[in-house]
Structure 1
Amino acid sequence: MRFFFIRVLDVMLALIGLIVFSPLIVAAMVAVWWQDGFSPFYVAKRAGRGERPFEMVKLRSMVKNADRTGVASTSNTDMRITRVGHLIRRYKLDEITQLWNVLKGDMSLVGPRPNVLQAVANYSSEEKKLLTVRPGITDLASIVFSDEGEILRGSSDPDLLYEQIIRPWKSRLGLFYVENRSILLNIRLIFMTIIALVNKPAALDGVHRILVKSNADPKLIDVARRDKPLLAFPPPGMVDIVQSHHAS
């Protein structure tokens, strides 16, 4: 029954969000189209619940066909990001259009972020549990690693760096959510996601309280504080640090 109420909350808030933000979405669409004359949308194929692929709708922040370069992770210095795209990414405008996917039932407002099919194929058996729920627009990891582009800034191999220092903790935070999800947790995470846009330290404090109260892994609690450099670590269910972003 609680999952039914989560879905009801998803639909209600997605409808309200699309209506409220429609002027902003239209303005961003015009700006993206004006800069290069191509579609303002980027339709990304992602793995959904049960590993079923779906098409996630995003406002395009990169040059056309940027995904054909084979680089999945993006740093803030990525030359593929357009001038308008930097603004879209800074204010998370590319996430708003995903409310359409929430209405369709592909996604939830809160849940592990959907990943590309190639990355999911390399999941450990433990990480596969992330695919037992609908992927979301936001979650604990979205708050903790909202500065992902900055973390990867200047890396000669952002995909590998992502696999070594971000994926291990994003997956663990996602698994924590899967094991503890509830309508109350969803509401708290939606609220903290909004707070993170203007006061990330306050949002991180909220994440810390959730993890501590639920007796999460002390290592995860420590990393989620984001007050120390991120170190390479094996993904959950694996014993070795990833040495290649093509490794399984």
Structure 2
Amino acid sequence: MLLKRYFDHIVSFFGILVLWPVLLVVAILIRVKMPGGPVIFKQKRVGKDGRLFTMYKFRSMTVGHGGSSVSVAGESRITPLGAVLRKYKLDELPELWNVLKGDMSFVGPRPDVPGYVNCLTGEDREILKLKPGITGPASLKYRNEEELLAQMEEPQKYNDEVIFPDKVRINLNYLHHWSFWLDVKIIFCTLVGKDLES
């Protein structure tokens, strides 16, 4: 996966250079529209080989909400500006810094909070061989995850019993069938909003 590492470092570096005006505008909007809290949301996530790292995102929620780790569309803790940032994935732009640092890759499983990794057993733990990604095959399938969860009577239960196991299955398949061109296809599908299978 040497080519993958070179791609991550080079593209994230130039991505930050090209997108810095967008990053600046979003940061200013958060400061103005969501005062009283940080612009950047920082949280410990589980990375390659189970090592913890700090993931960076633009803040999209109220401060001190104390809510679940599972986000549902329409929640009161998600601010109006935050909802727009999340819809267009702009809240994830600071993760380019995580990719540049080597904590993350452009493509891979989304990084989970420590509690979910503890649920992995047997072969499922092989997905920890991968760096977490900004996007990935499971992210494409569940691009509307928050809207899907909003339709469920028990969103947390549905996530834990249906979505999380399915994501593990998809990410294992990605691990076993990885190629650089698969990564390129996943990034392209992410940018244009297409399904991987189409």
- Report TM bin, short chain: over 0.9
Separation of aligned partners in 2, 1:157 and 1:115? 20
1:37-186 equivalence runs, <5 A: 37-66=36-65, 68-69=66-67, 71-186=68-183
Question: 1:195 offset after TM fit, Å?
Answer: 1.0
Aligned residues: 197
Question: 1:154 offset after TM fit, Å?
Answer: 4.5
Q: Say if 1:75 and 1:154, in contact at 8 Å, map to a contact too.
A: no
Question: 1:14 offset after TM fit, Å?
Answer: 0.5
TM-score between the two structures when normalised by the length of structure 2? 0.95
Q: Say if 1:44 and 1:57, in contact at 8 Å, map to a contact too.
A: yes
1:157-216 deviation line (CA, Å, top 9, x unaligned): 3221111221121111111111111211111111111011xxxxxx22xx226xxxxxxx
Separation of aligned partners in 1, 2:76 and 2:128? 32
- The one-letter code sitting in structure 1 at the alignment partner of 2:58 is L
1:108-130 deviation line (CA, Å, top 9, x unaligned): 11111110001111122222111
1:86-139 deviation line (CA, Å, top 9, x unaligned): 111011011111010001110011111110001111122222111111111110
- The one-letter code sitting in structure 2 at the alignment partner of 1:62 is M
Separation of aligned partners in 1, 2:113 and 2:142? 18
Extract unaligned runs of 5+ from structure 2: none
Separation of aligned partners in 1, 2:177 and 2:16? 28
1:14-53 equivalence runs, <5 A: 14-34=12-32, 35-53=34-52
Larger radius of gyration: 1
TM-score between the two structures when normalised by the length of structure 1? 0.76
- The one-letter code sitting in structure 2 at the alignment partner of 1:122 is C
Separation of aligned partners in 1, 2:124 and 2:59? 28
Extract unaligned runs of 5+ from structure 1: 197-202, 210-248
1:34-90 deviation line (CA, Å, top 9, x unaligned): 122321110011000111000000001111133x33x11111121110111011101
Tell me the residue number matched to 1:235. Answer: none
Separation of aligned partners in 2, 1:185 and 1:115? 22
CA RMSD of superposed structures (Å): 1.3
Separation of aligned partners in 2, 1:124 and 1:86? 34
Name the % identity.
Answer: 34
